[in-house]
Amino acid sequence: MESKTLNCLLIDDDPDDQEIFCMALGDMGKEVNCTFANDGVDALKKLSENSVLPDFIFIDMNMPRMNGNECLAKIKEENHLKAIPVYMYSTSADPATVAETQRLGAAGFIVKPTSVSELTKTLKFCLK
């Protein structure tokens, strides 16, 4: 069980948030590989190029070029990607926005917390 290394993709244009996400994953106590994409366009490019698909995808809501929902919809359109659980990841959770992500097939909505430990707890729950 423990032997399998999880692969994780975070799509976020903010380098600070990428760093914080990394720290939180590192505190989980198990090996998780994390790759990053700077926006939706970048992410879809990477997903089509890489032979190994992530086990989980996390998408920031507000990004230039292609926002979180657009990116989610594209992923769910792709047959080889649509089974991957996708968690939305944003500073605020407007109920209408959350409902829209659920409709599009998101596995959950994570509000970016103010501490790394809190994020670690949330990720543990998500990556079970």
Partner 1 sequence: MAEKKASDITKYRFLSSRGKAAELICRKDWSNTSVKPIPLWPQSLRTTLNLSLSLLTPVLFLWGKELTCFYNSAFYELLEENDKGILGTKGGELLNDVQHFKNVIRNASSESLTVHPFKFELIGNRSFLYSVSPIFNEENEVAGIYIHLNENISDTKKNITRELEESERKFKMVADTAPAMIWTSNIHRSYDFLNKGWLDYTGRLMEEELGQGWTQGIHPEDIERCADIYNHAFDHQKKFSMEYRLKRADGKYRWIADEGTPRYSSEGEFLGFIGACVDIQERKMAREELERKVLERTSELNKRNIELQLQKEFADTILESSVDVIAVLDTELKYVTLNRSACEMYKVSKEELIGKKMIDVFPGIIDSGMYNDLKTALTGQTIHNPKYRSTVLEKHFENFYIPLKNRNDSVYGVLLVSHDNTAIVETTIQLEQTNRILEEKNLALERTNKELESFSYVASHDLQEPLRKIRTFAELIQKDLKNEKIARKYFSKIETSAQRMSDLIKAVLNYSRLSKTEDLYADTDLNNILMNVRSDFELLIQEKGAVIKSNKLPAIKGIPLQLNQLFSNLIGNSIKFTENTPKITISAKIVDPHNMPAHPDIQPEKKYAQLVFRDNGIGFEQQYSDQIFTIFKRLHSTESYAGTGIGLALCKKIVENHRGFIAVKSKPGKGSEFNIYLPVN
Q: Which residues bind partner 1 (CB under 8 A)?
A: 13-17, 20, 23, 38-39, 62-65, 90-92, 94, 112-116
Q: How is 79-92 classified by DSSP, letter by letter? A: TTTTTS-EEEEES-
The distance of closest approach from Cβ of residue 96 to partner 1 in the complex, given in angstroms and rounded to an integer, is: 10
Minimum distance from residue 94 beta carbon to partner 1 (Å): 7
Using the minimum distance from each CB to partner 1, give the nearer residue, 6 or 46: 46
Which alpha helices (DSSP H) does the chain contain, by range? 15-26, 40-49, 68-77, 95-104, 116-126
What's the min distance (Å) between Cβ of 15 and partner 1? 6
